[in-house]
Amino acid sequence: MSNSIQLLCSTGAFSRFPDLTDYRSILTFGPNLEVDGFELMFYPDWTAEIEHIASELLKSGLKFPAIQI
């Protein structure tokens, strides 16, 4: 376990359930933030497209060391 502190931003800072859950807001705003990574908020309406969403987030190069379900 590392002793260094990481600065993470919750993706809930620019998305919220139930009305603003488009994963593309993460791709839009995430790269502009000077953070070490993100706590990914997983929304129920993503379930049917989870493979596609995961692929898009992975391609972004952003880091997601924490997930909130």
pLDDT at 9: 96
Task: Going residue by residue through the chain, which has 69 residues, state the pLDDT in tens, using 9 for 90 and above.
Answer: 567 899 999 999 988 888 889 999 999 999 999 999 999 999 999 999 999 999 999 999 999 998 876
pLDDT at 22: 93
pLDDT at 1: 52
pLDDT at 14: 87
pLDDT at 18: 86
Any residues with CB less than 8 A from the CB of 35 and at least 6 apart, and which? 7, 8, 9
pTM of the model: 0.83
